[in-house]
């Protein structure tokens, strides 16, 4: 079985505020080591579960955070600024049996989620078919259209609650408790890594047994983004098919999940 792992940074055990997640800031190198540790744990667990091919997508910020020499050599890593962002490399006809999300976080606007946001600092809130959505839901939507179920999501307890709502079949790994946007109570990194090994193993095993589901949001797909200001909304609304509404909001309506996701990404990039 081929396994796809998307690794972010804000949801890692030991990361409690935004400073260490930014290149060049104090603590960044330590955060990268935590990112490598959780990625390797997921790789190891997936292979224990029967994975024969593992692809890791570096999905944080500029997306060149992981140090390749420190990653498990049994995995392939995708890095750099990518057209498909957090789901790069998992497209149609790639035959992945399951996706695992590591280091993920709660949605923009969440009242307590640690470093909560959705893809960038521009969205204040994102809604998918009228429901508040985080990165895990948006990514799972595209992966579902490509035939890839999400089997595990790891991050804080706020993310776990959102995962239960959007992806109830997926394993939920809680490596920290969100105290506030810039505070968290984390388990030790070694404990988090053991949790991830076990959860990744279980997710691959459940995928082989056909116990997971694809996220199907139906059609048409409507993604609404409330931006920080009207100027950002003006830029995002340039996308064909986008509609500007309210003070600083843009609506993307598409006939399928992949087209909707493309419009969402393009709007964010123009807004930024």
CATH number of the domain residue 261 falls in: 3.30.1360.130
Q: Is residue 157 part of a domain?
A: yes
Note whether 181 and 232 are same-domain residues. Answer: no
pTM over 0.85: yes
**Residue 246 CB coordination number (10 Å):** 11
Q: Is residue 216 part of a domain?
A: no
Active site residue 117: yes
Give the pLDDT mean for 211-230.
98
Note whether 264 and 163 are same-domain residues. Answer: no
The CATH number linked to 46 is 3.40.50.10780
Note whether 45 and 133 are same-domain residues. Answer: yes
Local confidence band at 212 (pLDDT 50, 70, 90 cut-offs) = very high
**Given 110, 117, 188, 201, the catalytic residue:** 117
Identify the domain containing residue 236 by its residue range.
221-271
Note whether 66 and 89 are same-domain residues. Answer: yes
Q: What percent of the chain is modeled with pLDDT above 70? A: 100
Note whether 18 and 48 are same-domain residues. Answer: yes
Ranges of H-type helices in the chain: 28-48, 135-145, 157-166, 189-208, 230-236, 257-271
- pLDDT per residue as tens digits for the range 227-262: 999 999 999 999 999 999 999 999 999 999 999 999
Q: Is residue 154 part of a domain?
A: yes
> Domains in the chain: how many in total?
2
Note whether 85 and 134 are same-domain residues. Answer: yes
């Amino acid at each position: 079985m081929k396994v796809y792992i998307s690794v972010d940074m804000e949801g890692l055990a030991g990361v409690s505020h935004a400073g260490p997640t930014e290149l060049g800031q104090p603590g960044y190198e330590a955060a990268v080591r935590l990112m490598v540790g959780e990625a390797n744990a997921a790789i190891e667990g997936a292979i224990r579960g029967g994975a024969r091919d593992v692809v890791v997508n570096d999905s944080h910020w500029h997306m060149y955070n992981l140090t390749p020499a420190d990653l498990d050599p049994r995995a392939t890593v995708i890095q750099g600024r990518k057209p498909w962002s957090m789901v790069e490399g998992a497209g149609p006809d790639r035959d992945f049996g399951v996706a695992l999300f590591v280091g993920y976080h709660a949605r923009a606007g969440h009242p307590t989620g640690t470093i909560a946001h959705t893809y960038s600092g521009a969205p204040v809130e994102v809604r998918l078919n009228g429901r508040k959505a985080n990165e895990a839901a948006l990514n799972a939507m595209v992966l579902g259209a490509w035939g890839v179920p999400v089997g595990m999501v790891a991050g804080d307890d706020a993310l776990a609650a959102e995962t239960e709502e959007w992806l109830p079949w997926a394993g939920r790994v809680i490596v920290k408790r969100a105290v506030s946007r810039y505070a968290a109570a984390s388990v030790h990194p070694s404990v988090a890594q053991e949790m991830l090994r076990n959860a990744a193993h279980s997710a691959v095993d459940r995928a082989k047994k056909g116990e997971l589901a694809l996220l199907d949001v139906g059609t048409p797909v409507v993604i609404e983004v409330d931006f920080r200001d009207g100027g950002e909304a003006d830029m995002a609304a340039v996308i064909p098919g986008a509609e500007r509404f309210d003070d600083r909001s843009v609506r993307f309506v598409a006939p399928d999940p992949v087209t909707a996701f493309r419009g969402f990404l393009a709007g964010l990039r123009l807004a930024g």
